[in-house]
Structure 1
Amino acid sequence: MASHAIAMDICSKHLILECLLLTQDLTGTERIERPMVPDGKLEKIKDNVWKLEKDGNRFSVKRYHSNSTVMKVHRIHQALRSVSFPHIVDVIAQENQLTFVQPWLDGAKAVNFKKRADRTDSLAALHALHNTKAQLDWHASPYLHPYPLIAKWEDRIRKFREIGGECEAYIGKGHVDEILFYALNAIGAVKKTYKDNLDGTLLHGDVVHHNILRDKDGKIRFIDFDLASTGPAGTEIALWIHRVLPQIDYDIDYLFDEQPSLQKLDLASKTLLLFPNEVLREWLHFFTLSPFSRERQAKQLIPFTESALSHWPKLWYDVERINI
């Protein structure tokens, strides 16, 4: 194990990919990312993420364009490592400040919220992340800012109004009106109860399933802290529930019985469950896609929307009942 760690360290210190150079094309107008790795094999994962194979080791390499974001992510990992938080991936120091390198987790898989074990373990890890506020003063960090929940959701409603006419071509005016009805009533209820107080903690900021990995040893690992912020723990638990509900037919009673810790959520956090967050986000994302991708995505998004709306009246009733 020691020799392997030394080899990893030597390899990391010689990563030529520590400078993903930005160069100009022949026209001088377009900036292109060109990874300079003459003796390593690169596989592009997405626009700013690569898998690097070098000297028998594999790494995840991410290129940032914002110093403040990469510094925030580094500081979060340093702080969590200082208290031996187990649910993150090591970071390999680089000379280039905009390059973020971590060991590639061979055999790791994104959690599946359809599976009880993945729901249970990801929620436990999320609670552990939030509980680090007992050891770390997250509000003192100059790189972290309060999670702008209400402003974010109001902006989401505004943008959905703008694309409402286009949405009608896919789901009809009735469904568009339903989405807005639930969103507007929910945001009104949220404003009456929500408080972004200083008793908050670190929020991961994007608890989508592919940012929560189960490694080959079964341990949960969080990746991609780009959107991390501070706020009430219950806010992020509610956002996690938003992700889970479509996978369990929106049965909030079933989920609360399965995960007893959810029964401790306060009124403000449970009220967040009324907002049709996933439906709004998916439609806003839909209209950023190419026409070809839209045609393919519509086959999934239309039934997803219809299912959500068919369950929403009962969900609203159930949430109000458990809030009593």
Structure 2
Amino acid sequence: MNKDFFEERDGMKRRLLLLLKENFDLPFIRINPIKNMVWKVSTQNQDWILKGFSSLETFKRQVSFTEQLKKSGFTQIYSFHPKPFVQENKVFGLIQFIEAKKGQKVSYSHESDIRDVCFLLRKYHHATTNLSNVVKEQIPVFEQINKWKKRLIDYRYTLPLYSQNPLRSHLNYFAELGEWALDKLQNQAAFFKEEPNCIIHGDVASHNFIRDKNGQLWLIDFDLIALAPPHIDYLQLSNRVLPHLGWDVERLFSFQTLQPFKTKEAFLTALVYPTDIFREWLHFTRSHTLEQRRRWSTMEALLLKQFKERIKFSKEIMKKVKSI
């Protein structure tokens, strides 16, 4: 097989379907792409998710983790077919398909969904805190500050390449926010190492929560699990929901799960770090020229939308931090 075997092109689905039939004792009849390296595959009576993994070790770690998590009593996660298949150094695994309830896609624009996500995460963190050390030893340790340092350096490195960009002042402003936050967080590093450690999810975007046809919420996609205090997930969740809350501090801390962090200096400081801007900007700048042209309107909207609200939010948080 040539190196283009798994690329999305004519005949690819047929060949991948053939491999599935050869590697699993299941009568697959359909395969449809969902996103890069993720497909929905079906037999006559059952649906699965076929997913590519970065390594066999990663696949086995996630299988072991989800099995132990279910044994602990946390069942709102999918199961794996225990057998992977490896083709041309690519590792594929089958995952239980969870059918979402029609018209009930989880969205952070709905405060009820935010509350439900907070509740599920709280249950998840409690369960992972109590997992055995044998399980935890397989999981990498999360390094928040080092990750943010590198992201800011990478972001800063791109700015001279866009010196004529009409939004250069906005780009510089976000860099300044990142530097302010990191400077403060240097003296609060212990916050990101506090015990007890759980296994955080690491990617609490709304699309990683599915509400099934019975209304039950499920947690999916464990590619970024790591050992860390639970509040790392809550910090990321806050960054995800704030644009939907109009960057309103009081609305953010109206959620019961987040209320304990209202006076936590490190948590407040970290909220100022513009992780969403840096993440999307770096993704944008690493794209080829045609892709940048296609994505520019989306990037521009992210930089400009709610900019005044974000400035107000950042100043309010800085004032709170100074008063603590």
TM-score (norm 2): 0.83
1:95 offset after TM fit, Å?
A: 5.0
CA RMSD of aligned residues (A): 2.2
Alignment of 1:300-319 (within 5 A): 300-319=298-317
Check if 1:261 corresponds to 2:257.
yes
1:296 Cα deviation (Å)? 3.2
Per the alignment, residue 112 of structure 2 pairs with 117
Pairing partner for 2:146 from 139, 145, 151: 151
Q: Which residue identity is paired with 2:230?
A: A
How many correspondences in the alignment?
Answer: 296
Equivalent-residue separation in structure 1 for 2:166 and 2:66 (angstroms):
43
Is the partner of 2:305 in helix, strand or coil? helix
In structure 1, C-alpha distance between the alignment counterparts of 2:119 and 2:163, rounded to whole Å: 40
Q: How far has the Cα of 1:322 moved from its partner?
A: 5.0
Mapping 1:20-169, distance limit 5 Å: 24-25=1-2, 30=3, 32-33=5-6, 34-35=15-16, 36-37=19-20, 39-94=28-83, 96=85, 98-108=91-101, 110-137=105-132, 141-169=136-164
Following superposition, the deviation at residue 260 of structure 1 comes to: 2.1
CA offsets per residue over residues 85-110 of structure 1, 9 Å max, x none?
13212222225373322222223464
State which drifts further: 188-197 or 146-155.
188-197
Task: Report the CA distance shift for 1:92/1:169 in structure 2 as closer, same or farther (over 3 A).
Answer: farther
Question: 1:14 matched to which residue of 2?
Answer: none
| 8 A contact 2:49–2:95 mirrored in 1 | yes
Cα deviation 1:228-265 (Å, max 9, x = unaligned) = 101111111011100111111111211212x0221112
Distance in 2 (alpha carbons) for counterparts of 1:179 and 1:65: 32
1:210 pairs with one of 180, 183, 207? 207
| Deviation of 1:147 (Å) | 0.8
Is contact 1:90-1:102 (8 Å) kept? yes
- Is this contact kept in 1: 2:67–2:79, CA < 8 A? no
Amino acid at match of 1:295: R
Per-residue deviation, 1:301: 1.9
- Taking a change above 3 Å as real, the CA distance of residues 292 and 215 of structure 1, as seen in their structure-2 partners, is farther
> Who is 2:273 aligned against?
275
Runs of 4+, deviation exceeding 6 Å = none
Q: Give secondary structure in 2 for the equivalent of 1:143.
A: coil
| Residues 1:314 and 1:95: Cα distance change in structure 2 (over 3 Å) | closer
- Superposed displacement of residue 56, structure 1: 2.1
Cα offset, 1:304, TM superposition: 1.8
CA distance in 1, matches of 2:301, 2:133: 41
Q: TM-score, normalised by structure 1?
A: 0.83
CA contact (8 A) 2:235 2:271 kept: yes
State how far apart, in whole Å, the 2-side matches of 1:288 and 1:217 are.
41
Q: Is the 8 A contact 2:136 2:227 kept in 1?
A: no
**1:137 Cα deviation from its structure 2 partner:** 3.7
Amino acid at match of 1:122: V
SS in 1 for 2:239: helix
Deviates more, 1:166-175 or 1:153-162: 166-175
